[in-house]
Amino acid sequence: MRDNGATSRSEALYERAQKVLPGGVSRNTVLRSPYPVYAAHAEGCYITDVDGVERIDFANNMASLIHGHAHPAIVAAVADQMTRGTAYTMATEAEIRYAEHLCSRNDGFDQLRFVNSGTEAVMAALKVSRAFTGRPKIAKVEGAYHGSYDFAEVSQTAAPANWGGVDAPESVPVSHGTPRGVLDDVVVLPFNDVERAVQILDRHSDDIACVLVDLMPHRVGLCPATQDFVDALRSWTTANGALLVADEVITFRGRCGGAQQGYNLRPDLTAMAKMIGGGFPVGAIAGRREVMQVMNPRSDDYRVPHSGTFSANPITMTAGRTAMELFDEEAVARLNNLNRLAMDEMTGAISRRGVEASVSGAGSLFQIHMTNPAPTNYRDAYPAPEVAARLSRFVDLLLGNGILLASSGTGILSTPMGEDEIGQLVAAVDRSLAGL
């Protein structure tokens, strides 16, 4: 980041940023020590910072860029729409066309509504679930990230000092000042533990509106849910009059109609975001027509008023539809195969180096851990201080070796990537492991 002792442009920008932004940023995910790296431009799967350093982008704006940066078809479609307006207080055909496309990708999507982020999509799904069932509580997996809605973020950062027993995990707030009532209305489940999860759900069976599940939760270690766990949640919700809500904000890229298709699962509601925006802010909630009717002002079942100034704006609708039409079955399969190659090759590099590390993931997502074996639940994934420091050092070494990962050690593939980029990734992982 420095050249002959000179202050880098990123460092200088961060000095300015700290005067006007708390912590110098508007999202903590870009913070690095001692200062963030500032982007100048990007194209395809390569990103160049303000100091002229080019890297392969395996972060892809936290999984929101399925086709990398500045894809020509998306740029052209958005540029055309820009000449006709960016947002109106009128409905647009662009919204209908995109909703038709997304619904065509999954038989369980009878209807759909657009919002502006993954947080909003999950929030809407929980509100719809409460309205449809008339019940107050939600159940969610310990450690799973579902955005910043008070109820959805409970136990996202639970720690050994406060997470309670595995048979009855505590509802732990993320933000100071979270009302006690919020915590009381969130039931926390251990991931991939069928027996304990069902026992916990049974204790609250009359009050649970929905079970919220990410099929491969990032902060739980990017370990896929087991078929038994998913089947148990589906069976329990059906038997007890609750809804099953799938958070596919990140995992929708795993299959043409979402990771749920790999489990033969049809949730009552699905929350989506990130890549379905084609690089623009987006969210969506899809599901059963009967359930979605609580958002229909002209339905007798109307119970959830819902709107948003930029929801379904024509720029996002155009970019998103263009991106998803390009991400067809063939593109999904190619990217998933590329990810399997990357995971196998990185596992081989770890083995050859004889270091304590591992790789987890599926679809077009992987995560590198400084433990072996890879974690299978949140409590396994929770890092000891020395492990966290080691991972941070490893990610920094990768950055110096030309690879941008998320700070958690997570890599996200994009369609411009090929075997050459995977080869460069594996070589950089090998060098960085040696540097540890």
pLDDT at 191 over 50: yes
CATH 3.40.50.300 fits 72-326, yes or no: no
| Cα dihedral sign, 292-294-296-299 | positive
d(CA 87, CA 75): 17
- Distance, CA of 14 to chain centre: 27
DSSP state, 215? S
392 close to 378: Cβ distance less than 8 angstroms: no
Residue 387 CB burial class (10 angstroms; 0-12, 13-18, ≥19): middle
Is residue 307 helix, strand or coil? coil
**4 has pLDDT over 50:** no
Over residues 3-11, mean pLDDT = 76
Tally the C-alpha atoms within 13 A of residue 22's C-alpha that lie toward its C-beta.
Answer: 3
Residues of the chain with CATH 3.90.1150.10: 37-66+329-435
Structure confidence at residue 2 (pLDDT)? 44
Which amino acid appears at position 72 of this protein? P
- Tokens 């209305």 -> residue: 185
* Cis-peptide into 385, omega within 30 deg: no
Task: Annotate 350-381 with DSSP letters as a single string.
Answer: HHHHT-S-EEEEETTEEEEESSSS--SSHHHH
Alpha helices (H) in 90-146, listed in sequence order: 93-104, 118-133
Q: Which of the pair, 1 or 271, is modelled with greater confidence?
A: 271
Q: What confidence tens digit (pLDDT) does each residue in 77-106 have? A: 999 999 999 999 999 999 999 999 999 999
Work out the average pLDDT over 172-196.
97
Tell me the residue type at 57: D
pLDDT in tens, 9-55: 999 999 999 999 999 999 999 999 999 999 999 999 999 999 999 99
Question: pLDDT (tens digit, 9 = 90+) per residue, 331-353?
Answer: 999 999 999 999 999 999 999 99
Q: Helix, strand, or coil here: 203?
A: helix
CATH number belonging to the domain at 37-66+329-435, selected among 1.20.120.530, 3.90.1150.10, 3.30.420.340, 3.40.50.970: 3.90.1150.10
Alpha-carbon span 241 to 187, nearest angstrom: 16
Mean predicted confidence (pLDDT) in 286-315: 97
Give the integer Cα–Cα distance in Å for 396 and 405.
9
Pick left, alpha or beta for residue 300 (phi over 0 → left; psi -120 to 50 → alpha; otherwise beta).
alpha
pLDDT category of residue 7 using cuts at 50, 70 and 90: confident
pLDDT of residue 5: 54
Pairs from 198-202 (Cβ < 8 Å, separation ≥ 24): 198/232, 198/236, 199/167, 200/139, 200/167, 200/168, 200/169, 201/139, 201/236, 201/240
Average pLDDT (196-209) is: 98
Positions of CATH 3.40.640.10 in the chain: 72-326
* pLDDT at residue 1 in the model: 42
In order of 138, 184, 219, 295, the CA distances from 150 in angstroms are 12, 12, 17, 21
Rounded to an integer, the average pLDDT of 418-428 is: 98
* Segment (H or E) for 212: strand 208-213
State the chain's mean pLDDT as an integer.
97
Residue 3 has pLDDT above 90, yes or no: no
Looking at residue 299, what DSSP letter applies? S
66 within 8 A of 73, measured Cβ to Cβ: no
Predicted confidence (pLDDT) per residue in 132-165, tens digit: 999 999 999 999 999 999 999 999 999 999 999 9
pTM of the model: 0.96
